[in-house]
Amino acid sequence: MRKALFALAISAFLLPAGASMAQSLPEPLTPIGNLSSPFNLIIPNYSKAPLPSSWQGFYFKPSIGYNSISFGGNQLSDAKGITLGASGGYDFRYNRFVFGPTADLNYDFLSGGESSIDGISGYKTRIDFDGSVGARAGYLWDRTLIYVTGGYAFANMSVKNDAFGLSDSHTLSGWTAGGGLEYLWSDHDSLRFGYRRVQFFDASFDSLPVDRNKVKFNMDKFDIGFVHRF
C-alpha cells in the first residue's frame, strides 16, 4: 500500500512537468536532416537561441531510475530494481559554465534474494530510500549541458534473518560522484540523464553472524527526468 501511494505521488509530479514542457515548445519546430514529423518533436531543431536565464535559478526534477547494489566482505545477495524520486537545487551561470548546489531523495524498490551465510539460509536485504546532498558543475554546448556531480550520500538498509526471526536496519552514510547530460527543451524545461556511483561506509548489523556482521556495499544509479526551472 505504501509503495502504491508513493508511486501515485511521484506520478502527480511527473504529469505537470510533462504538460509544462509540451506547452512551452518554441515555434516553429523544423526537422534535423531528414527527420520529419513526428521525429522532429523528439529531436527538434530550434531557430532561436535559449534565453540567458534558461540555465539559472531554482529547479525541480521528478525522476525514475534504476539502481544496482553490490555487497562486499560477506555473502549477501546483490540487489537491483527501480527507484522513484525527486531532486532540486539552484543553478548559477557564468558564461558557458553552470554550477550550484543540489539534493535528491528517492524511494527504492530494491531487495536482494535469499542468502546463505555459514550454512544458515534466510538472510535478506532491503533498501527503502536513499538520497544525497552535494553540488554539480557543467559546461554548456548550445542547448546541451555536460556536467559532473558529487557529495554526501545516505541510504536506509535493513537485514532480516528469517531463520532466527531477527531484523536490523541502519541509515548508512557515504559519498557519491558521477555525471550526466541535460538538454534544454524549452526556455524553462529540460531533459536530464545522469549516472552516479555511491560508496557507503561499513556498518555492523546484529542480525548477521558475529564474524560477518560488517556490511559494505556500493550502488550504481541511473536516472532520467524532466527539469523545470522557476
pLDDT of residue 19: 44
Look at residue 1 and tell me if it is in a domain.
Answer: no
pLDDT of residue 158: 85
Number of C-beta neighbours around residue 182 at 10 A: 24
Enter the DSSP assignment of 205. -
Please tell me the pTM assigned to this model: 0.76
The tally of domains found in the chain comes to 1
Look at residue 99 and tell me if it is in a domain.
Answer: yes
Residue 25: name the closest of 53, 58, 47, 57 by CA: 47
63-99: pLDDT as tens digits: 999 998 888 766 677 888 899 999 999 999 999 999 9
Look at residue 133 and tell me if it is in a domain.
Answer: yes
CATH, residue 213? 2.40.160.20
Look at residue 15 and tell me if it is in a domain.
Answer: no
Question: Which residues of the chain carry a pLDDT beneath 50?
Answer: 2-3, 5-34
Look at residue 16 and tell me if it is in a domain.
Answer: no
Look at residue 169 and tell me if it is in a domain.
Answer: yes
Q: Which range of residues forms the domain containing residue 172?
A: 52-229
Look at residue 198 and tell me if it is in a domain.
Answer: yes
pLDDT of residue 127: 86
Look at residue 26 and tell me if it is in a domain.
Answer: no
